[in-house]
Structure 1
Amino acid sequence: MATAQRQEQQRAAAAAAAESATLSRRGAGMLLSSLLLAPWAPGAAQAALTLEDVTPPVAPPQPLSAREAVVAAVYERVAPAVANVYDVTLRTLPVGGAQAVEQPEGNGTGFVWDTEGHLVTNYHVLGSVLSGAAGKVLPGAKVARVLLLNEDGVQQAFDGYLVGADKARDLAVLKVNAPASLLRPVTLGDSSAVRVGQACLAIGNPFGFERTLTTGVVSALGRGFQSQTGSTIGGGIQTDAAVNPGNSGGPLLDLSGAVIGVNTAIFTNTGASTGLSFAIPSNTVRRIVPQLIRLGAVQRASLGIQPAADPIARSFKVSEGVMIQTAEPKGPAAAAGLLPTRRGLGGVVAGDVIVSVAGQPVRNLFDLTSILDEASVGDEVEVVALRGVDQAGEPQRVAVRATLAAEAA
């Protein structure tokens, strides 16, 4: 009896276990079917969802910070004064915008100078036509195509005619016959008041992308740099605002929207911006552009000397100052008694080394260039030079008075 009862209990337990396993398999199968079918056959709850239900809400617009508002306002005010400039040697003119990532040299930037239609840009932007095989280009020649924004914010093309060019300072002035409504001149600032660390903005057409804004700070002042024309430019403004090919000739602005410089050169090993950009200071531009407009050329003050190249100066152990290689026979330096490099009884004798002009130190050619840029033809200046630097002992210090003459064309 006991044995039969135990067998009955075992059969009941086995049946219960079998039923539990069956239910478990059914549940797993239903769950697996649900997971497999869910993406393709939404359930009733999923079918009720709308596009709005699965679209995240849009954050409400936040007010600009004070600095952002200033930058945006400056851009809106100045951008219409910025032009896209192409020299006439380029075969294509992408009126609708950049059609390639990289534009050839000859695509740059300019800005409206006045309501008469004068625009300022870099000489090297027009270098292909101004220095081409055709010879000297005279004022009045068509040298560029200029794109300005019209009242609808669409670029409109105009012929750009040469007014004047200064290769030595990498500046050129064009004239366009555009309606007065499209000519919105910039405001010129005082570059002598610029300070290292202050914010600055650059607007230009890098790689052909028109009116691109970049921001940064003034990194250094009084920098000497070499422009793409091969000339030495002193007193430059160094900035870390991104400047790339196509930015040349565009304005460097302070946060009031005043132009404090003309973006001209970058220091790079790759051809792209590395955070070292240089601008011609606005006070230099202020002196040169009116002369180009009125005379077609610049009358620049000069000492009438040719400085010695660095390797020659170093061979005479000259590490600071500007050594005179040659001097114009009737030029200011020669008339004042300064001596060029010459041949003597014992061999070649180093020329006088200019160390000061008009009370300002001359450490290199950049300094001398900057000082003369500030001077005018006819100014009488004191020039201090060292003589006999190639001989042992202390060199003789010479101070003379020289009347600056016009730089030879």
Structure 2
Amino acid sequence: MTHLVLGFAVVSAMGSAAAMTEDEKNNIELYERLAPGVVNITSTVLEHDFFFNVVPRQGAGSGSVIDSRGYILTNHHVIEDASKLEVTLADGKKYTARLIGSDPDTDIAVVKIDATRENLVVIPMGSSANLKVGQKAVAIGNPFGLGQTLTTGVISSIGRTLRSTTGRLVEDIIQTDASINPGNSGGPLIDSSGKMIGINTAIFSPTGANVGIGFAIPIDTAKRVVDELINKGYYAYPWMGISLMTLSADMAEALKLSVDSGVMVVEVVPRGPADRAGIRGGTSRAQIGNNIVVVGGDIIVKMNGKKVSDADTVIRDIRKFRPGDRIQFDVVRWDGSRKNITLILGEQPKSSR
């Protein structure tokens, strides 16, 4: 009797292994190889209660080991305002972590622990440049420090936008239906080859439960900022030192301008890059319908030879450059004259970060 039961069990196990699909085998291989590189991050934030007593509040997220020296990639919102950070590895070992650098605009942060190389499994970075809707996506998290979780799905959409905690729009966001559960923020989104293609950051849910709409910061965005976060503690964004407003056709007609589209320079920061380049800001106010607009400044019609039509596009395109880069602007002065101006981008002041 015992022999028959054991024999049945062996046959069943063998049958089960043989019945696994290639996709299931891939999931298992990815989990066993990469899950040890996904850590739990516990943050302690000091708050004040009604009586102004200091009360510690703890939050939890995930992170990915990206370097054998102990650097860990996670979300800015996982470590935001933390007075203490603790990292738990897959083997249960806990380490006090220190914040190396953080960029709220992209919701990316780097922390570091002092662990030996033998205790660290590095998750390799891939590329998010050529992702396709429908390709496999695997999310691994370590939400409670009790063990890693794996959820699978596909890339549902690419090129989405998400507003960061600073209010800025983060572009090229990856949307996936792989479940991103509470505590999985900061963990990796992985392709079928085992490369990290994103950092899981948020879910969309009217109830707080996962409804199959998750978002991840593309790994190419992280690769753009991570070296500066490690070396400088922050990411240096380019800065023009101007404020802009889109010039609509109706506005141009009301102001009797010589151009019907472009971007109006509303204000120029004294001694900033635009001021040094000779770009002029507004000098007076005018009422157009129910709106008061600042007029008299230059109107940008081209940037690096490309026609511009709205302020948001100019701002987004500028953020792709680096401080010190030169930008060519074709502007129309308020008197109708035209000028070509070279602007050398500065570094965004700390007070504006």
Gaps of 5+ in 1: 1-50, 92-103, 130-141, 389-394
Contact 2:324–2:345 (8 Å) recurs in 1: yes
Kept after mapping to 2: 8 A contact 1:206/1:243 = no
TM-aligned CA deviation for residue 385 of structure 1: 7.6
Normalised TM-score (structure 1):
0.65
**Inter-CA distance 401–241: structure 2 relative to 1 (3 Å threshold):** farther
What is the alpha-carbon distance in structure 2 between the residues aligned to residue 75 and residue 361 of structure 1?
Answer: 48
Matched, 1:253 2:201: no
Give secondary structure in 2 for the equivalent of 1:146: strand
Which residue of structure 1 lines up, in the alignment, with residue 100 of structure 2?
163
1:348 is aligned to 293
Counterpart-to-counterpart distance in 2, 1:241 and 1:402: 44
How many angstroms apart in 1 are the aligned matches of 2:143 and 2:24?
22
The 10-residue stretch of structure 1 (207-216 or 276-285) with the greater mean CA deviation from structure 2 = 207-216
The answer to whether the aligner puts 1:407 opposite 2:332 as a matched pair is: no
Written as runs of structure 1 = structure 2, the 5 A alignment for 1:110-121 is 110-121=63-74
Instruction: Indicate the residue corresponding to 2:218 in structure 1.
Output: 281
In structure 2, the residue matched to 1:45 is none
Q: 2:60 maps to which residue?
A: 107
Instruction: Identify the residue that residue 52 of structure 2 maps to in structure 1.
Output: none
Aligned position for 1:145: 86
| TM-score scaled by length of structure 2 | 0.74
Q: Which stretch of the first structure deviates more once superposed, 58-67 or 348-357?
A: 348-357
1:82-93 correspondence runs (5 A): 82-89=38-45
Structure 2, gaps ≥5 residues long: 48-56, 253-260
Query: Residues 251 and 363 of structure 1: is their aligned pair in 2 closer, same or farther, counting only changes over 3 Å?
Result: farther
Instruction: Supply the distance in 2 between the matched residues of 1:281 and 1:380 (Cα, whole angstroms).
Output: 27
Any idea what SS the aligned residue of 1:191 has?
coil
1:191–1:282 Cα contact (<8 Å) kept: yes
Which sits farther off after the overlay, 352-361 or 174-183? 352-361
1:398 & 1:196 partners in 2: Cα distance?
Answer: 44
Deviations 1:89-118 (A, max 9, x none): 389xxxxxxxxxxxx872111110111111
Cα drift, residue 252 of structure 1: 1.3
Structure 1 residue 159, shift from structure 2 partner: 0.5
Give the number of the structure whose residues are more often strand, by fraction: 2
What is residue 257 of structure 2 aligned with on the other side? Answer: none
Q: Secondary structure at 1:299's aligned position in 2? A: coil
| CA positional deviation for 1:403 | 2.2
Number of positions where the alignment pairs a residue of Structure 1 with one of Structure 2: 319
**Does structure 1 conserve the Cα–Cα contact (< 8 Å) formed by 2:89 and 2:145?**
no
Asked if the contact 1:322/1:362 (under 8 Å) is kept, the reply is yes
Q: Could you tell me which residue of structure 2 aligns to residue 134 of structure 1?
A: none
8 Å contact kept, 2:140–2:184: yes
Task: Work out whether 1:292 is the aligned partner of 2:229.
Answer: yes
Pair 1:70–1:58, CA change in 2 (3 A)? closer
Where is the helix percentage greater, Structure 1 or Structure 2? 1
Q: Distance in 2 between matches of 1:344 and 1:234?
A: 34
Whether 2:138 is the aligned partner of 1:201: answer yes
Greater Rg, structure 1 or structure 2? 1
Correspondence for 2:53 = none
Percentage of pairs with the same residue: 37
Which of 176, 193, 216 is the aligned partner of 2:153?
Answer: 216
Distance 1:244 1:369 in 2: 34
1:238 maps to: 175
